[in-house]
Amino acid sequence: MASVTDGALASPVRDRVAAGTFRPVWIVLAAVGSVHLLGVRLPTTAQYGLLLGTVLLLGLPHGALDHLTLPRARDEPVTLRGIGVFSVAYLAVAGAYGIAWLVAPAASFAGFVLLTWFHWGQGDRAHLALATDAAHLEDPWVSRLTLLVRGGLPMVVPLLAFPEQYRSVTTTVVGLFDPGGGHWLAPAFDPSTRIAVGVGFGLATVGTLLAGHYVAGDRRGWRIDAVETGLLWAFFATVPPILAIGVYFAVWHSLRHLARLVAIDETASTALTEGATGRLLARVGTDALPMTVGALALFGAIAVVVPNEPGSLAGVGGVYLVLLAVLTLPHAGVVTVLDRVQRVV
């Protein structure tokens, strides 16, 4: 395994990325969590509204640069032919997963949870590797366990803290294809299952942090990892799942991935280091616009194809989650290759 620090970003890009993606985002999550500890609750419709807001606010756009990601990371030219071949392959993978939803929606939902677990874990691991010293991730097992824990926090902790709301989302999404299909996933919500998962995941969290400290000591990268792990445990344990995922997806996962892509684009990274926010947003927005429009068209197509009409804002939110599922599969493939190009695995 190559040293994760081999792929670390060069200053001042690294400093700018760290400044924009660590403490400000921690403050947002801490504020949302604190409000909920005081007993404030948003209506479910408002929570779904916020989730749907990520269609344009960072969520969909963060994956709309996939066609440019690998050429830029490899310092290769971007060509129309290359974009065409990439797009066909990308849509083929997404389409195959879309068909799977029609055939086996419950299994496809479970697969989406596991896929997101992996992808969000790889995103957090890469961000630690690129934006901090991340010396503890140079150990292969600590690196793998960090992916497991970081990706599992948004997937596991809401199941432990809000099982009925988690079940409701599952029923809504699977119900778009098979109204009774959610019963296949019922064992996941059994109290004994949740206790076992909670104990196991808690031990994995503590064990991973202790192992990281053992191999690298009290380094800045490890301290950031520990702070963020504790923050995410608290956030997902106090904020209802729909709202928590909406906030996390936009200001945590998507923002970090976009920052990573800015760093490999000379034009965007120059604007970042010069503090030219308008020029930076224009560059990223222009690059992301075509594929974001395409994703919105796919959103509409899925809404038409699902056997059962959404019928409510929650149902529309369910369609959006299916859209994210089919796009996450090829997107995670791109990010996996990017991890290797940047030598963070």
- Given this model, what pLDDT does residue 86 score? 96
Q: Which ranges in the chain belong to alpha helices (H)?
A: 13-21, 23-37, 44-53, 59-63, 66-73, 80-103, 105-131, 140-161, 163-175, 191-216, 220-238, 241-247, 255-263, 266-273, 277-305, 313-341
CB neighbour list of residue 12: distance below 8 Å, 6 or more residues apart: 273
Q: What is the rounded distance in angstroms from the CA atom of residue 193 to the CA atom of residue 195?
A: 5
Q: What is the rounded distance in angstroms from the CA atom of residue 95 to the CA atom of residue 101?
A: 10
Q: What is the rounded distance in angstroms from the CA atom of residue 29 to the CA atom of residue 309?
A: 34
- Given this model, what pLDDT does residue 345 score? 78
In this prediction the pTM is 0.94
- Given this model, what pLDDT does residue 8 score? 66
Low-confidence ranges of the chain (pLDDT < 50): 1-5
Q: What is the rounded distance in angstroms from the CA atom of residue 162 to the CA atom of residue 44?
A: 13
- Given this model, what pLDDT does residue 71 score? 96
- Given this model, what pLDDT does residue 218 score? 86
The structural domains of the chain, with segments of one domain joined by +, span 4-38+49-341
- Show the tokens assigned to 288: 């992301």
- Given this model, what pLDDT does residue 247 score? 97
- Given this model, what pLDDT does residue 7 score? 55
- Given this model, what pLDDT does residue 217 score? 87
